[in-house]
Amino acid sequence: MDLQGEMRAQVSWTLVLAVFLAFPPFQRERVEEMGFGEILRMERMRVDPSLTQALRSRWDTKATAFVFPWGHMIPSLEDVSRITGLRIYGRPRRSSLVPRVALQKSLGLYDAGKNAGESEDEYLERLARVSRRELASEPGPQADLDLCRFLVRFLGRLLFAMRGDAVHCRFLPLLEDLGEVGGYAWGVAFLAHQYDGLSASERQTSTSGFYPFLQVWAYLHLLALGRGDLARPGPVPITRRWDCCRDTRHLVDQLERLQEAIDSHPYLDVIWQPYLGEGSEGQPWLVQARPYFGRSVWLHALNLMLPLNLFLTHAVEFPVRDRFTRSGRSFRGLHDTTDWREQAREQIENWERKGKVVKSDTTTDDAYLQAYALKYGGNVYKSARHKVDVAGEIASLRAVLHSAMQDRETARRQAVELSELEKVRSTGAGGGSSSRDAGGSPSLLEARLAGAVLRAEEAKRHLEERERDLRLTTEHAMDLQAQRDQYQGQRDHLQGEIQSTRSERDQLRIRAEAAEARSEEATCERDQLRIRAEAA
């Protein structure tokens, strides 16, 4: 677990915030105008590496989505806009390493390590004081240079952080005209960077970029995990509302418990639409962002193009990640002269048209769940307790359960209709005219009543059959798990016996070799005595 990498991300956040506080007010206003002010005003959130790693372990690179027992889930542009406040509208960016030491020296932060016993607030205050001395409020080019240095660090070590200590130079062409910086869709680039980082090598355990985003995304959609504390209801962006709950257990234990909690997370407790009750007051960035909500669109970020497959949660045919040809991910110096916007003209035009509205291709949820179970089976479970090697067994339970719930709702509606018809029938018994006024002749009412009763009874029988199937399938899965556990115990016991037998065998061999050696010595001694006797 790369806890050290996650902690470095938190330190980078503190350093960036210290430089921002050291700026004179007019420079801070310019940063806010660029769309970064809301992020910089957020409270410092503790990193939760076990949560981000648990999420990362469930990322499916081919589908570009998280694969959970209940279906696909992905962070969307609306998540970015509401959680971080970053603008997701604007122009695609055009497109290379600044040494970390040189940049930190220019900001006065090279030797500004945290002292023993120093609190976070004291550390931040000292950093801001040191940086303020370096970043004197000089007018003209020097002030712009200081701002460029800050933005390079903000973009390279916080929003688009990469592995290693160097800060990528790919941001330098974007900062040639500071008046243009605010016109770019930084939120879109940020989401593409998140997707690209999640789809990196499986051996990489840390998640680069602005780590509070994924944490708050999990708080909103998987609230039952209990990893976040809603400390400040109301503030926006939403990240400012949350704190990370303290967990003093060992990180490996935290990860195991989180995997188990996700595997056993109640299906009905998953929050698919956390923003239904959210308005847009005090969030001007949402006004222009709304046309991009709920759409499948190409995300663009610094020579990177990735599809936002929102229809994954609706379609039965699960697409794979489009392997769009793009420039290399490694840049050295400013030699990259290829305009990637020409290479990705079709994808850029798709962005300018605001993508496509997501429409469901399925008729029922069962079709999606059954297809999901067929494709992923028990592989959606990560904890040791849920690793049942039966294709589609556990995931099928979700589909059966959901169908049973739908049947229960149908039966409820039929019961309500039956009750209403019984009321009409009792009213009709009191007088023929009122019966006709209520909806027709008594024979017609009787026929409707009989039909409703039959439909209710049929729905009830269907529900009982589904519940019985669900119970039997659950018992079968539990039997399989018990057999697996029993087999595992027997195998462990057998391995112990084998090891004990091997040890006894080795001891017997050693004893036999020693006895053979003593026998040879006795034989040799006997021969010598015989020779002496014959000589005498």
Could you read off the pLDDT of 131-146 as tens digits, one per residue? 777 766 555 667 777 7
pLDDT at 233 over 80: yes
Please name every residue paired with 132 in a beta bridge, in sequence order, or none if there are none: none
Q: In what order do the strands lie in the sheet with 65-68?
A: 59-60, 65-68, 71-73
Q: Which two tokens stand for residue 491?
A: 């195998």
**Confidence at residue 323, expressed as pLDDT on a 0 to 100 scale:** 46
Q: How far apart are CA 460 and CA 451, in angstroms?
A: 14
The mean pLDDT value for 187-197 works out to: 88
**Confidence at residue 49, expressed as pLDDT on a 0 to 100 scale:** 87
As a whole number, the mean pLDDT across the chain is 75
**Confidence at residue 18, expressed as pLDDT on a 0 to 100 scale:** 80
Highest mean pLDDT among 325-329, 392-396, 493-497: 493-497
**Confidence at residue 181, expressed as pLDDT on a 0 to 100 scale:** 86
Residue 367 belongs to what H/E stretch?
helix 365-376
**Confidence at residue 328, expressed as pLDDT on a 0 to 100 scale:** 39
φ, ψ of residue 111 in degrees (nearest 5): -105, 25
Q: Which two tokens stand for residue 482?
A: 């018990």
The mean pLDDT value for 361-381 works out to: 75
pLDDT at 289 over 80: yes
Candidate from 194-198, 327-331, 388-392, 407-411 with smallest mean pLDDT? 327-331
Candidate from 67-71, 90-94, 161-165, 337-341 with smallest mean pLDDT? 337-341
**Confidence at residue 339, expressed as pLDDT on a 0 to 100 scale:** 63
**Residue that is written with structure tokens 């193009």 in the block:** 305
The mean pLDDT value for 428-450 works out to: 53
Greater pLDDT, 143 or 245: 245
**3-state secondary structure labels for all residues of 55-98:** HHCCEECCCCEEEECCEEECCCHHHHHHHHCCCCCCECCCCCEE
Q: Work out whether strand 356-357 and strand 71-73 pair parallel, antiparallel, or are unpaired.
A: unpaired
Nearest residue to 209 via CA among 2, 1, 13: 13
- Give burial (CB, 10 Å; 0-12/13-18/19+) of 284: exposed
**Confidence at residue 522, expressed as pLDDT on a 0 to 100 scale:** 78
Q: Work out whether strand 295-300 and strand 356-357 pair parallel, antiparallel, or are unpaired.
A: antiparallel
**Confidence at residue 332, expressed as pLDDT on a 0 to 100 scale:** 37
- The alpha carbon of residue 86 and the mean position of all alpha carbons in its chain are separated, in whole angstroms, by 19
**Confidence at residue 82, expressed as pLDDT on a 0 to 100 scale:** 93
pLDDT grade for 334, boundaries at 50, 70 and 90 = very low
The mean pLDDT value for 514-533 works out to: 78
pLDDT at 116 over 50: yes
**Confidence at residue 214, expressed as pLDDT on a 0 to 100 scale:** 92
**Confidence at residue 166, expressed as pLDDT on a 0 to 100 scale:** 61
Greater pLDDT, 209 or 465: 465
Q: How far apart are CA 233 and CA 224, in angstroms?
A: 18
Highest mean pLDDT among 279-283, 359-363, 438-442, 478-482: 279-283
The mean pLDDT value for 10-23 works out to: 74
**Confidence at residue 172, expressed as pLDDT on a 0 to 100 scale:** 74
pLDDT grade for 148, boundaries at 50, 70 and 90 = confident
**Residue that is written with structure tokens 């739908």 in the block:** 406
The mean pLDDT value for 457-476 works out to: 69
Could you read off the pLDDT of 394-408 as tens digits, one per residue? 555 555 556 566 666
pLDDT at 250 over 80: yes
pLDDT at 220 over 90: yes
The mean pLDDT value for 93-105 works out to: 64
Highest mean pLDDT among 169-183, 335-349, 359-373: 169-183
Q: Are 340 and 327 in contact (CB under 8 A)?
A: yes
Q: Which two tokens stand for residue 291?
A: 């046309």
Decide: helix, strand or coil at residue 357. Answer: strand
The mean pLDDT value for 408-421 works out to: 69
Residue 167 belongs to what H/E stretch?
strand 167-168
pLDDT grade for 294, boundaries at 50, 70 and 90 = confident
pLDDT at 20 over 90: no
Decide: helix, strand or coil at residue 356. Answer: strand
φ, ψ of residue 23 in degrees (nearest 5): -70, 150
Calculate what percentage of the chain has a pLDDT beyond 70: 66
